[in-house]
A and B are shown apart, each in its own frame.
Chain A
Amino acid sequence: MREMIRLFVVILIFSAVSGGLLTILHSKTEARIEYQELKFVKGPAIKQIMEGSSNDPLVTRFKLKDDTEERSFYVGIFDGDPNIVAFETFGKGYEGDIGVIVAVNVENDEIFGIGMTTNKETPGVGKRIETDVDFRLQFNELSIEESIKLRNDGGQIDAISGASLSSGGVVAAVGSAKEIYKRLKPEIIEKLKGFKT
């Protein structure tokens, strides 16, 4: 029994030292990893939407508390005005959640553009939400007040043929983005003032 306890203590010490060291390293690299993750996962979508902005939207970002969740917002500055704010939302697709970056123009409350981040849709079918530019562009300049639906449900968005579930997921994500935006609008506007040059 004594022996058992000794062995157990040794493993415990080993694990504790390892956990401690890794925690230190993690806290040192955390910020960098977060930026890298941003650059490679959400980055392409954000950059694509904000093409032509005078800033790097991955750097000009802020966080807001939304109930229990913390959300990241990315700011696009065009002609010196920080009017575009983008954030990620999710909608249920064919398999798992579809991540969508939705950018809103705060001046006129219109959708500025959307882009896809992570999803597990079927390659060649649902995955086309990533590559089908026409599908994505349909969302541009729709008002936040408008109800956005697929044409099959009496709305204005044409689904990608054969991938209506995935298209529906994107629409759902945009819908939840509208809610988030409406809920947080005063705080967003307040934060955006800080980016004015």
Chain B
Amino acid sequence: MAKSAVQEFTKGLWAEIPPFRLVLGLCPVLAVTKGVETGIFMGIATTFVLVCSNVIVSLLRKVIPKGVRIACFIVVIATFVTVAELLMQAFAYSVFMKLGIFMPLIVVNCIILGRAEALASKKGVGVSFADGLGMGIGFTLSLFALASIREIIGNGTFYEIPVFGESFQPFTFMIEAPGAFVSLGLMLCIMNLLGKK
């Protein structure tokens, strides 16, 4: 039991790291990685929702009837998304404004529903918690990596602190929509090169 929980946790960090290995939930990945700040906050919020919904779904897995399980999962997820939304409004309003509609959109992030359906609705609380945490942290790391690349090259800053000298001409392509697709595609390619291991 203890060992499998650890395994569930670590697989989210590398072997099945979303969104690179598990190509799900791409929209937030593309949209919020303009800057490191929004990327990290999005990652934290998603992790929070993922862990909570995994635990609750796992606790209630024997109560929820099969026919409406997706609807029930969605209600659970939406509840936690709103919790995250309210908390962020109360304590980090400036980031909340930057995230805009992508905060409520966590509810349709396929990773969360995917984990609830594929794992949490079948396994125990401990394993589901570990899986949620692992996947969440993996997702946050991916967001952080992509956001760093895009912000440094596209804007010449890291966490809104300039990293290059005055003469640096930002490569704006990277922070616009096309750059988001291309850089994610190239990162996927690099991950494929590194191999599954």
B98 → chain A closest CB, angstroms: 11
Name the contact of B78 in the complex, choosing from A6, A18, A32 (C-beta under 8 A). Answer: A18
Mark interface residues in A3-22 (1 if CB within 8 Å of B CB, else 0). 10011001100110010011
Across the interface, do A3 and B67 meet the contact criterion of CB distance under 8 Å? yes
Q: Does A37 make an interface contact (CB < 8 A)?
A: yes
A115 → chain B closest CB, angstroms: 18
List residues of chain A with CB under 8 Å of any chain B CB.
3, 6-7, 10-11, 14-15, 18, 21-22, 25-26, 29, 32-33, 36-37, 39-40
Number of A-B contacts (CB under 8 A): 51
Chain B at the A interface: SS class: helix
Q: Return chain B residues, CB-CB under 8 Å to A3.
A: 67
Nearest residue (CB) in A for B72 is A14
Kindly name the residue among B71, B76, B93, B97 whose own CB sees the greatest number of chain A CB atoms within 10 A.
Answer: B93
Name the contact of B79 in the complex, choosing from A10, A11, A18, A40 (C-beta under 8 A). Answer: A18
Q: Return chain B residues, CB-CB under 8 Å to A29.
A: 86-87, 89-90
Interface size on B, residues (CB 8 A): 20
Across the interface, do B72 and A11 meet the contact criterion of CB distance under 8 Å? yes
Across the interface, do B97 and A40 meet the contact criterion of CB distance under 8 Å? yes
Q: Does B178 make an interface contact (CB < 8 A)?
A: no
A-B contact pairs, 22 of them (CB 8 A): A3-B67, A10-B68, A11-B71, A15-B75, A18-B78, A21-B83, A22-B79, A22-B86, A25-B83, A26-B86, A29-B86, A32-B91, A33-B86, A33-B89, A33-B90, A36-B89, A36-B90, A36-B91, A36-B93, A37-B89, A37-B93, A39-B93
Nearest residue (CB) in B for A43 is B93
List residues of chain B with CB under 8 Å of any chain A CB.
64-65, 67-68, 71-72, 75-76, 78-79, 82-83, 86-87, 89-91, 93-94, 97
CA distance A146 to B97 in the complex (A): 38
Across the interface, do A40 and B93 meet the contact criterion of CB distance under 8 Å? yes
Across the interface, do B86 and A25 meet the contact criterion of CB distance under 8 Å? yes
Kindly name the residue among A11, A21, A26 whose own CB sees the greatest number of chain B CB atoms within 10 A.
Answer: A11
CA distance A29 to B87 in the complex (A): 8
CA distance A183 to B79 in the complex (A): 43
Kindly name the residue among B65, B71, B86, B90 whose own CB sees the greatest number of chain A CB atoms within 10 A.
Answer: B90
